[in-house]
Amino acid sequence: MRRTESRVSAVSELVYAVSRLLSLANRLLLSSPSGQPRLPEVAGRRLRAWLALTEYVEVFLELAAGQLLGPTGRWAVIAAVQIAKALMRLALVYWHRCGMLTSPPIVAEQSATCGAASSSDPSADEVLVLPSTGRRVRSLTTVASPARRAWGVPRPPSPLGIVPRHLTARRRAAETLFICRPLLQLASAGARGADSWPAWLLPLVADIASQQLHEDPAQPLTHSERAELYSRRLQLLLYLLRSPFYERHTRDRLVAVLAALARHMPLGRYLAQPLLDYLPAWQRVYFYVW
């Protein structure tokens, strides 16, 4: 039964990986118009693409290695993938100076491209300043059709709208801690076991320390960086579903809540029962730090 579940999970992950790779290829084609010079903000563009590709296929590689090579081969593939990802992310932070990385990393490239495009866009000339009152109004030559018209005056671009490429030393240390979390878990798992408390606690400490260090008064966070930091804080909830905390504290309570929903809520059985059936498999595959 467990082998069948692993096979089904591998097939579903293959389908997901193929769809994400097609989306990535389409995104790269659209962001590389012919005849235009590459924008300076798109630093490490090729490395970002390789990192995104690795993130899209890593779960499939893990499941396939478990099917073909057994537990030892599975952990070897996991270690190789996580080391490769960490090296690529460190190169983006220290060599290409890409700032705070997002997941998937290709999103940051698009944000940087859009930010650069907005700073050099001729649309900056679509606003006129009245000499008598100083009021800003839209130029008639740039007014769109009524169906697409925005009635407000375009806002000037904010200098904090572009992701900074040079992090302070404190924030580089914060990003390094965040990048090295999977390696800390793998090292602890190799020394003390995958379900040991050090393998759970060390990444959590690195995660919290990284988020605290990113709050640097010397370099305020941009809007996109605040969104990424908020996402990382939400992801701390996943530690409730990671071993060994899950087996010792979360599992029984979560199963009891889902079972109560299945018994007492109208149509709750159709929602809660699949979660009860698939939760063990999902916990084994998806709730690692990586």
In the 3-class helix/strand/coil scheme, how is 224-287 assigned residue by residue? HHHHHHHHHHHHHHHHHHCCCHHHHHHHHHHHHHHHHHHHHCCCHHHHHHHHHHHHHHHHHHHC
CB atoms within 10 A of CB 242: 20
Instruction: Write out the two tokens for 227.
Output: 């969104």
Helix H or strand E encompassing 289: none
Q: What does the domain layout of the chain look like in residue ranges?
A: 1-32+39-118, 169-290
> Would you put residue 97 in left (φ > 0), alpha (ψ -120 to 50) or beta?
left
How far apart, in whole angstroms, are the C-alpha atoms of residue 288 and residue 290?
Answer: 5
With a cut of 70, which residues of the chain have pLDDT below it? Answer: 1-6, 8, 31-43, 106-135, 137-165
Q: Which neighbouring-strand residues pair with 127?
A: 138
Q: Which neighbouring-strand residues pair with 138?
A: 127
How far apart, in whole angstroms, are the C-alpha atoms of residue 223 and residue 230?
Answer: 11
Contact of 154 with 127, CB cutoff 8 Å: yes
Instruction: Write out the two tokens for 179.
Output: 């990048």
* pLDDT for position 39: 46
